[in-house]
């Protein structure tokens, strides 16, 4: 918990100038790996769309491959991300190395047991899980009913081969937390590249052995088994790639032991109980979104939502996840020391770093979503409105709210305000579900808008919650850097829209040229606007005026 501390505030020496540069170096290290991971992840999505398209088989694969992530978050993922690093840092700060690593060993050992049990239970529960997700899709003809039955069977079979991912994702999460505690950030950001390349290779192989697969033709085949095992193999190799870094990170005191009375175990249990409730709320909301998407019907609605979300998350993952990865240990240390002023400054700094890049990325994705999806997923054909493009544009509009919400939540987690975090997630997820029922029951666009609007509402509530705890982020939201990015992005958006609206082809090389011209115009206008703004600020500073 962070509270004002007059004595520490009065005695604290000035913060070194190198703090920001050190943080920036860590962000660059994480961002470079995250960028490589996201680029190869994008390539994986492209290959997946090329091999499976927007078909019932694609929906079965994407649904089954989403569930292990949901299950991991449910049983451990949320707890790892929200509690392990703050608790580990707190033990190392207060107890010293020897006692701290005994505590950390207890937490890690308990986590491994939970992962094993969860994986076994998930394998047996696979049919029930898939039935729950597909329950809102009601077939209106015998042919549709037959396809739906095959979809469920294929998704169930794939899910059983994807279940090992729950265990490996858990090991990756624990390993990443241990590396972050030792201030080793780069490796964890790079290893998803291995997973992506393995999956790409498996998908290409699958296309070569079955160029025109359907849910009926692949059900129960050895090819489907290899597709499932190959996808999970990528996650296993992703964990193995972390092992050399773990061996070099001075973790030799880590042992397999479990003491439920250990203070770290108690802290993780206390904070984790709230986090588990948060994860339950998140997964309930995601279930509603995916179930409604599956119920929309038509040409691959689940795949359209999945691909649109993947594209929207790319700038967030490269920028914000990198910022948060470097920022979280600092926030945890400042929270442990009750340095409220330093805590707020660090969080505002991370917010500024994130928004100056997220804002232009948002507007680019909103304006150019349709041609981007057409070029990457629909064989250079934008002659009709593409559902994945609609999803991407609407989700991108909510990206700033999503960013602010996640940054504020990370700050509250570092302060160990678990009950407040739970309340905020309940609010955000309740908004999502309510809006989905109102807007998204029969429309993919309405469903997607519900998600974006809910995150905007959650962001406002999260900022208010931080303000109530004397951590105000308004100056970070409206700093000169953010205002400059907002104005420049607005001008660039107008220029891009005008450039793309010009007469040109909607397919083939003409579409690529049209997209490239619009994007180039936007970049040039953005750069010019930033330069002019900076010169204006410099003149104002020379004249002693406030800008």
Residue 540 clears pLDDT 80, i.e. is over it: no
CB atoms within 10 A of CB 90: 20
| Separation CA 307–CA 167 (nearest Å) | 25
Predicted pLDDT at 367: 94
Q: What's the CA gap between 206 and 212, in Å, rounded? A: 10
Residue 205 is assigned to a structural domain of this protein: yes
Residue at 195 is within a domain? yes
**CA distance linking residue 320 with residue 510, whole number of Å:** 34
Judged against a pLDDT cut of 80, whether residue 535 lies above it is answered with: yes
pLDDT tens by residue, 385-419: 888 899 999 999 999 999 999 999 988 888 878 78
- Residue 86: both structure tokens together: 């703050």
**Cα–Cα distance measured from residue 537 to residue 480, given in angstroms and rounded to the nearest whole number:** 9
pLDDT tens-digit map of 459-472: 999 999 998 888 87
Structural domain count, the chain: 1
Distance CA 315, CA 354 (A): 10
248: which DSSP letter? T
pLDDT digits (tens, 9 = 90+) for 150-193: 899 999 999 999 999 999 999 999 998 888 888 777 788 899 99
Residue 20 scores a pLDDT above 70: no
Residue reference for tokens 């450039």: 499
User: Is 220 within a domain?
Assistant: yes
Identify any residues that bridge with 293 across adjacent strands, giving them in sequence order.
none
Percent of the chain whose pLDDT exceeds 90: 40
Q: What pLDDT, on a 0 to 100 scale, did the predictor assign at position 10?
A: 35
Give me the mean pLDDT over the 496-518 stretch.
Answer: 88
Q: Which long-range contacts (CB under 8 A, 24 or more apart) does 504-511 make?
A: 506/374, 506/381, 506/382, 506/383, 507/374, 507/380, 507/381, 507/382, 507/383, 508/380, 508/381, 509/380, 511/371, 511/374, 511/375, 511/380, 511/381, 511/382
Q: Between the CA of residue 41 and those of 286, 313, 315, 461, what are the distances in Å?
A: 21, 11, 12, 32
**Residue 97 maps to a domain:** yes
> Bridge partners of 507?
381
Whether residue 544 is predicted with pLDDT greater than 50 in this model: the reply is yes
Greater pLDDT, 544 or 148: 148
Is residue 113 over pLDDT 70?
A: yes
Report the pLDDT value the prediction gives residue 54, as an integer from 0 to 100: 86
Average pLDDT, the chain: 85
Q: How many CB atoms lie within 10 A of CB 318?
A: 23
pLDDT-derived band at 125, boundaries 50, 70, 90: very high
In a domain, 364, yes or no: no
DSSP SS3 for 5: coil
Closest CA to 138 of 292, 323, 329, 365: 292
Q: Flag whether pLDDT at 145 surpasses 80.
A: no
Termini Cα distance of the chain = 36
**How would residue 234 be classed by pLDDT, with cut points 50, 70 and 90?**
very high
Q: With a cut of 50, say whether residue 9 has pLDDT above it.
A: no
Is pLDDT at 288 greater than 80 in this prediction? yes
- Does some domain include residue 464? no
Burial 63-79 (b: 16+ CB within 10 A, else e): bbbbbbbbbbbbbbbbb
Q: Is residue 345 part of a domain?
A: no
Statement: residue 450 has pLDDT above 70: yes
- Its domain, for residue 87, covers 51-290
Q: Is residue 36 part of a domain?
A: no
């Amino acid at each position: 918990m962070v509270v004002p501390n007059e004595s520490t505030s009065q005695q604290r020496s000035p913060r070194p100038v190198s703090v920001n540069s050190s943080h920036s170096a860590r962000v660059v290290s994480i961002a470079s790996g995250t960028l490589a991971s996201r680029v190869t992840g994008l390539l994986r999505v492209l290959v997946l769309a090329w091999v499976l398209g927007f078909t019932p088989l694609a929906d079965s694969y994407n649904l089954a491959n989403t569930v292990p992530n949901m299950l991991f978050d449910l049983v451990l993922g949320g707890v790892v991300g929200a509690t392990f690093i703050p608790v580990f840092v707190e033990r190392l700060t207060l107890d010293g190395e020897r006692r701290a690593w005994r505590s950390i060993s207890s937490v890690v050992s308990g986590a491994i047991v939970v992962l094993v049990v969860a994986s076994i239970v998930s394998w047996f529960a696979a049919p029930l899980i898939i039935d729950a997700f597909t329950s809102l899709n009601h077939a209106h003809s015998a042919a549709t009913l037959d396809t739906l039955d095959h979809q469920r069977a294929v998704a169930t079979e794939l899910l059983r081969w994807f279940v090992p991912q729950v265990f490996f994702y858990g090991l990756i999460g624990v390993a990443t937390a241990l590396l972050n505690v030792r201030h080793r950030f780069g490796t964890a950001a790079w290893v998803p590249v291995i997973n992506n390349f393995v999956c790409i290779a498996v998908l290409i192989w699958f296309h070569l052995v079955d160029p025109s697969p359907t849910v009926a033709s692949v059900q129960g085949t050895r090819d489907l088994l290899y597709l499932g095992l190959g996808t999970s193999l990528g996650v296993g190799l992703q964990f193995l790639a972390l092992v050399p870094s773990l061996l070099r990170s001075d973790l030799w005191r880590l042992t397999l032991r479990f003491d439920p009375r250990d203070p770290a175990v108690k802290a993780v249990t206390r904070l984790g109980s709230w986090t588990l409730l948060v994860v339950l709320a998140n997964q309930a909301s995601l279930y509603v979104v995916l179930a409604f998407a599956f119920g929309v019907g038509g040409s691959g609605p689940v795949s359209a939502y999945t691909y649109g979300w993947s594209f929207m998350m790319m700038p967030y993952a490269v920028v914000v996840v990198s910022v948060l990865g470097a920022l979280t240990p600092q926030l945890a240390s400042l929270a442990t020391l009750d340095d409220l002023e330093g805590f707020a400054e660090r969080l505002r700094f991370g917010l500024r770093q994130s928004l100056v890049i997220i804002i232009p990325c948002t507007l680019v994705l909103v304006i150019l979503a349709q041609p981007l999806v057409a070029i990457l997923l629909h064989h250079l054909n934008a002659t009709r409105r593409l559902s994945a493009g609609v999803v991407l544009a609407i989700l991108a509009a909510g990206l700033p709210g999503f960013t602010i919400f996640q940054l504020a939540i990370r700050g509250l987690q570092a302060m160990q305000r678990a009950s407040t975090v739970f309340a905020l997630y309940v609010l955000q997820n309740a908004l999502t579900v309510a809006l989905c029922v109102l807007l998204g029951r029969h429309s993919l666009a309405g469903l997607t808008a519900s998600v974006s609007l809910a995150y905007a509402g959650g962001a406002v509530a999260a900022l208010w919650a931080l303000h109530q705890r004397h951590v105000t982020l308004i100056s970070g939201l409206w700093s000169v850097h953010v205002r400059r990015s907002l104005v420049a992005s607005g001008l660039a958006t107008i220029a891009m829209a005008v450039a793309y609206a010009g007469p040109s082809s909607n397919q083939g090389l003409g579409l690529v040229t049209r997209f490239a011209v619009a994007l180039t115009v936007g970049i040039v206008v953005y750069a010019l606007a930033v330069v002019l703004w900076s010169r204006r600020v410099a003149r104002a500073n020379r004249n002693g005026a406030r800008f």
